[in-house]
Amino acid sequence: MISHPAFAVEPWALRETELDLDVLDQAGSVFALANGHIGLRGNLDEGEPPGLPGTYLNGFYEERPLPYAEAGYGYPEADQTAVNVTNGKIIRLLVDDEPFDVRFGQLESHERILDFRAGVLRRRAEWRSPVGKRVRVSSVRVVSLVQRAVAAVSYEVEPLDAAARLVVQSELVANEPMPLAENDPRAAAELGMALRAELHSDHDARAVLVHVTRKSGLRMAAGMDHIVEGPSGIETATESSEDLARVTVTADVEPGQRLRVVKLLAYGWSSQRSSAALRDQVSAALAEARHTGWDGLLAGQRDYLDDFWARADVELEGDAELQQAVRFALFHTLQAGARGEQRAIAAKGLTGPGYDGHAFWDTETFVLPVLTYTAPHAACDALRWRHATLEMARERARLLGLNGAAFPWRTIEGQECSGYWPAGAAAFHVGADIADAVGRYQAAADDHDFERETGLELLVETARLWRSLGHHDMDGGFRIDGVTGPDEYSAVADNNLYTNLMAQRNMRLAADAVERHPDRAAELGVDTEETAAWRDASHAMRIPYDEQLGVHPQAEGFTEHQHWDFAATTPEQYPLLLHFPYFDLYRKQVVKQADLVLAMHLRGDAFSEEQKARNFAYYEALTVRDSSLSANQWHARSPRRPRARSPRSRREGHRHHGGHQKDHEPYLVSIASQAAPGYTTIPSERTTAKSASSCGFERPSDPIWHTSQPAVRSRSAISRRWQRHHRASEHITAVRPRMASSHSSSRASANSALSA
């Protein structure tokens, strides 16, 4: 967590006013740029100090075996790990033969700005070399939201006191060394040299490298081209080899003159296309980027984001830091999935290698609610990706002796990639989370084609899983035993309340969708007997309740467990997963992230107001916030800032975020996601996923979609109409809504980019 005073508070940007090498890796995530297809970590242009470098292509991975001391039936055998692909960010500078390196000489000033409206990362530095030459270095980096395969950097150097001999080396580097892995189960696996060279070429100021992964057999290409401006006498040279391509620019520059290099980058990958085809693909993308020009790329980026912010912005008065946090969160959430186009949205987006680049259930529960109301095309694409993996989910269910589809707890391509672990292997709630996202998107977009072609089958197959996983007991109640809910400090429990309530909604959604599309449902083998079984199970769902305490147990028997000894736990022992065995965590009353509280957020209709208050107070004292999910959900669910804090929070005086850190869940993203999840659309104001300019909401007749009051109001017409019936939280002082505009123009121009 970065709490350095160098980060200024302002409404539309995140500004770092001085360079702190101690948080270089964290800043690399904060300043990352992405578009859902390409992701560039916010590393320094010159690549030194290297920190944690990172360039990612969504869905591009390498395989590695999952070893077990003693294997068991149904254990996943292979992992998929995101690959740090060819790095095109590197631009090295030599001033009179002295390399520009912030660790040497004197860094007189340094500033980086992540601009939320322009969608760029700006950098400005003034540096005195060890021999006294002063230069000003300015760069602007962009990952295009319009041209999906393209990124670009404008790099300028200006001598300040005296003439200087400048050499700029612009590079593509494959298989760059990575820092040693941490002793942390959440860190990424080491892949070594994952890329094998297949082709390299160069011409004029352009170069292309093509590589293939050694085991997964995925092929990728990276290309660069350059536009050079400056004083007369500039010389350029280009070279390429298997893992390195370089364009060298040499110039003698006087004070008041500038040497400017615009670097255009393009990426593409495929599991089937040849090296030559990918080479030509990125060459075409570079040609299009060159035709558009640097100014055109920036103008397209600004237009795309103007359209997004007109629909998505949330304005707060009275708390500038919170205003900045909301916009930062929305910006990164958009970056994670804007141009994913039927690829997964990973836990850390495309900002870093944590969790091996896997997508979890968090995508549907925390990211897609935001995208559904602000960038519905991206939410639709993410759900279509889930549908594309349906056969793998069916196969997993068959392996486990179940019907329907068992979606993976963590994956890139669609197969389960989690080594056997009770908190993951039994987390069947993933299916209900997907169904919930389907229902929410359909309610907002009224996308008939999506529901018929994609949504219905997802709902049917997940409902079938619940009907086979659970059973009716002797009293007729429907039980779901031996499962794990969102809380990873509890596992393999009976009747986890979150799981049961979400499964209940899942089966109701499926039965309702079947009634709307009987012919398509018949093609899927659904009959009236099966839908009746879903409705019976949902109606008879067991909901645990502790009469003595007057609260809902997180799972059956949870409130009878021994309480965790918070008094004996020191601040240095958090997160608990790194200092205590899971066996001990599983049998104690201690909560890692919101579970019961998350159920109250998503299924507010299932609780009375008094139950919500008592439940919140009870679980507040048990939650250690070892997960970023936890802090989000406490703020999202609470009608005002809670006064009570856990014993640990009271001792430390702040909330800890040391556990399940996932970059697509920054502070308050989940609060923004409260814009009427699951409400039905007013027929006269319905919109499609393609235009998605605004949606109106009204209370549905089915109480299943009732939700708790929102914490904030956004500018979008969606939440404005909904909030006519609900008051904002008391700690928000004022909101100024604005009408949303159509997204169709940005969407149309975006379609011209390359596909993976």
Residues 6+ apart with CB under 8 A from 470: 478, 479, 480, 481, 503, 537
Helix (H, G, I), strand (E, B), or coil: what is residue 736? coil
In DSSP notation, 449-502 reads: HHIIIIIHHHHHHHHHHHHHH-EE-TTS-EE--SB--S-TTS-SBSS-HHHHHH
Could you give the CA distance from residue 15 to residue 121 in angstroms, rounded to a whole number? Answer: 10
The beta-carbon contacts of 66-69 under 8 Å, at least 24 apart in sequence, are 66/417, 66/419, 68/419, 68/420
One-letter amino acid for residue 71 of the chain = A
The closest alpha carbon to 682, from 651, 645, 714, 722, belongs to 722
Peptide bond just before 49 cis, omega within 30 deg:
yes
The separation between CA 110 and the C-alpha centre of its own chain, rounded to angstroms, equals: 29
Residue 155: count of CB within 10 angstroms of its CB? 23
CB 33 within 8 A of CB 140: no
Q: In this structure, are residues 616 and 623 in contact, taking their beta carbons and an 8 Å threshold?
A: no
Backbone angles phi, psi at 426, to 5 degrees: -100, 10
DSSP codes, 620-678: HTTB---BHHHHHHHHHH-SS--S---HHHHHHSS----SB--TT--TTHHHHTTS-TT
Indicate the DSSP class of residue 207: E
Q: Which residue has the tokens 């297949």?
A: 198
Alpha-carbon torsion angle 392, 395, 399, 401, nearest 10? 120
Options 488, 530, 556, 665, the catalytic residue: 488
First vs last Cα of the chain: how many Å apart? 34
Give the Cα separation of 412 and 346 in Å (integer): 8
In the residue annotation, 488 being an active-site residue is answered as yes
Buried b (16+ CB within 10 A) or exposed e, 337-363: bbbbbbbbbbbbbbbbbbbbbbbbbbb
Q: Would you tell me how many other CB atoms lie within 10 Å of the CB of residue 98?
A: 18
Rounded CA-CA distance 76/64 in Å is: 11
List, by residue number, the catalytic residues.
488
